Amino acid sequence: MRPEGGAKYDQSSIHSPKFLFYFSHVTNCGAIRKCAEVPNRRYYTLDAMRGVAALSVFSLHAAVMIGPFTGSQAFLAVDLFFLISGVVIDRVYGRRIQAGLTPLQFFLNRYIRFYPLYLIGAVIGIGSALVSLTLGQGVLNLGEFVIATVTAIAMIPSPTSSADSFVVPFNYAAWSLIFELFINVVFVSVYRWLKVWVLILIALLSGTAFCIASVALNTVSMGAEWPTFWGGVPRVVFSFTIGVLISRMHTCKPIGTRWAYALSLLPIVFFLPMGGVIVDLAKVLIIFPILVAVALTIEPSFYNVSAKPAVLLGMISYPLYAIHVPVIQLVERACTVLNIDRAAYAPFNGLLLMMALCCVSLVLFRKDDHLQKRISLWRQAKQQQSNAATGL
């Protein structure tokens, strides 16, 4: 979910073929490569797709304020996030793991990437819940509030299910970040055995378990609440594994086209209400993997100009996802205290809040990027000191 860096692709690989050629280009790309043989680059179309998905999730959680612009099935964006993460993690970290990156080092890298912006969301959520507790309107008592606060800061599930069914009470969207860290650790721990046939087997087994769980619970939206928490495991394993498979099997050079942005917007169609759990499963199992595979093949032409919207969407995606729920909850509680009807001003108040959050997310991204660079330099200096002390 968190954007990862990558080198810009060579502009000489940008072509202008006819639209129907894109699909033949996808299906005639040659032999499967190891991740170390896949050139590292920036994935602009995936960045744009991730940003669109994050905005759709906001529309779902701010439904009362957004009104007719709500993506009522935007919970499926989480599956898209896991899928994209599988592609990007395999390509960005695959080389490093092969070069000797340990599971602990990998976990620290990912935790440091996630935690600062996650913590901002957690603090906002804790503050908002504290207001409710003070006013006697919260669902948690003081003891449960303390437990939920400690677990929120530690970025682990809260054992307060008897009072609040959400795994992360103060920022319920953050459940997927916990699962993301989980699958990342599993990935690096078993990386050496992840041949293509093993990945296919894992995808088949987890996909089957995901289908069974979805039908049994009559929803694919599993993991955010304790009653469906167990269903989040096959959900994340399947989509992440398919993402890694796409990374390994996709060997095409990108081609430039204005249709890249149309592809990035296409998930919005699948976030609209249509069908039931079977249709949702079809989106996750079939449609989303196809979208991501094609997104690896087509990019906005002339990345220095046309890719700027994609870059911006990629930049806001994680900060927006990390803070939007507690901010929405804070606004809702303020409206309750002030006796303001949120629906009466929809969709203008919702759209205004969305634009404000996008601006804040952009600022947070830049601040976090600066922090990440400083942390990276500090860790490199400490490693050099350690190597010098041991004579390496």
**pLDDT tens-digit series, residues 48-69:** 999 999 999 999 999 999 988 8
If pLDDT is split at 50, 70 and 90, which confidence band does 32 have?
A: low
Mean pLDDT within 263-290 = 95
- Per-residue pLDDT at 307: 82
Domain assignment present for 104: yes
- Is the pLDDT assigned to residue 285 strictly greater than 60? yes
Domain containing residue 258? 11-390
The 10s digit of each residue's pLDDT in 137-172 is 888 999 999 999 999 999 999 999 999 999 999 999
Domain assignment present for 69: yes
Instruction: Give the predicted TM-score (pTM) of the model.
Output: 0.89
Domain assignment present for 4: no
Domain assignment present for 6: no
If pLDDT is split at 50, 70 and 90, which confidence band does 6 have?
A: very low
The 10s digit of each residue's pLDDT in 224-266 is 999 999 999 999 999 999 999 999 998 878 888 888 999 999 9
Domain assignment present for 223: yes
- Is the pLDDT assigned to residue 94 strictly greater than 50? yes
- Per-residue pLDDT at 157: 96
Domain assignment present for 2: no
SS (H, E, C) the chain: CCCCCCCCCCHHHCCCCCCCHHHHHHHCCCCCCCHHHCCCCCCHHHHHHHHHHHHHHHHHHCHHHHHHHCCCCHHHHHHHHHHHHHHHHHHHHHHHHHCCCCHHHHHHHHHHHHHHHHHHHHHHHHHHHHHHHHCCCCCCCHHHHHHHHHHHHHCCCCCCCCCCCECCCCCHHHHHHHHHHHHHHHHHHCHHHCCHHHHHHHHHHHHHHHHHHHHHHCCCCCCCEHHHHHHHHHHHHHHHHHHHHHHHHCCCCCEECCHHHHHHHCHHHHCCCCCCHHHHHHHHHHHHHHHHHHHCCEECCHHHHHCHHHHHHHHHHHHHHHHHHHHHHHHHHHHHHCCCCHHHHCCHHHHHHHHHHHHHHHHHHHHHHHHHHHHHHHHHHHHHHHHHHHCC
- Per-residue pLDDT at 134: 87
- Per-residue pLDDT at 169: 95
If pLDDT is split at 50, 70 and 90, which confidence band does 383 have?
A: confident
- Per-residue pLDDT at 17: 42
Mean pLDDT value across the chain: 88
- Is the pLDDT assigned to residue 20 strictly greater than 80? no
- Per-residue pLDDT at 42: 83
If pLDDT is split at 50, 70 and 90, which confidence band does 311 have?
A: very high
Lowest mean pLDDT among 36-40, 58-62, 308-312, 318-322: 36-40
Number of compact structural domains in the chain: 1
Domain assignment present for 233: yes
- Is the pLDDT assigned to residue 221 strictly greater than 80? yes
Domain assignment present for 203: yes
Mean pLDDT within 328-350 = 91
